[in-house]
Amino acid sequence: EAGVAQSPRYKIIEKRQSVAFWCNPISGHATLYWYQQILGQGPKLLIQFQNNGVVDDSQLPKDRFSAERLKGVDSTLKIQPAKLEDSAVYLCASSLDRGRTEAFFGQGTRLTVV
Amino acid sequence: GQQLNQSPQSMFIQEGEDVSMNCTSSSIFNTWLWYKQDPGEGPVLLIALYKAGELTSNGRLTAQFGITRKDSFLNISASIPSDVGIYFCAGHDMDSNYQLIWGAGTKLIIKP
Mean pLDDT, to the nearest integer, of A1-12?
92
Residue B6 has pLDDT above 90, yes or no: yes
Contacts of A55 in chain B (CB under 8 A): 97
Q: What is the 3-state secondary structure (H, E, C) of A60-111?
A: CCCCCEEEECCCCCCEEEEECCCCHHHCEEEEEEEECCCCCCCCEECCCEEE
Mean pLDDT to the nearest integer, B6-19: 95
Give A-chain residues touching B38 at CB under 8 angstroms.
none
Q: Please indicate whether, in this complex, the C-beta atoms of B99 and A104 are within 8 angstroms of each other.
A: no
Asked if pLDDT for residue A8 goes beyond 80, the answer is: yes
Backbone torsions φ then ψ of A40, nearest 5 degrees:
90, 5
Predicted confidence at residue B57, as pLDDT, reads 97
**Average pLDDT of the residues of chain A:** 93
Chain A closest CA to B28's CA: distance in Å? 13
pLDDT at B99 over 80: no
pLDDT tens-place string over residues A50-103: 998 998 899 999 999 999 998 889 999 999 999 999 999 999 999 988 766 788
Q: How far is B92 from chain A (nearest CA, A)?
A: 6
Question: How many contacts (CB atoms, under 8 Å) link A and B?
Answer: 60
Distance from CA of A82 to the nearest CA of B (A): 22
A103 chain-B contacts, CB cut-off 8 A: 33, 45, 90, 100
Angle at the Cα of B5 from the Cα atoms of B47 and B103, rounded to 5 degrees: 50
> Across the interface, do B42 and A93 touch by the CB < 8 Å criterion?
yes
Rounded Cα distance, B40 and A113, in Å: 17
- pLDDT band of residue B98 (cuts 50, 70, 90) is low
C-alpha angle with apex B76: B75 to B82, nearest 5 degrees?
Answer: 145
Tell me: pLDDT of B11 over 80: yes
pLDDT digit string, tens, across residues B22-80: 999 988 888 899 999 998 889 999 999 999 999 999 999 999 999 999 999 999 999 99
In this model, does residue B21 exceed pLDDT 70? yes
pLDDT at B1 over 60: no
- Sign of the alpha-carbon torsion through A88, A94, A95, A99: positive
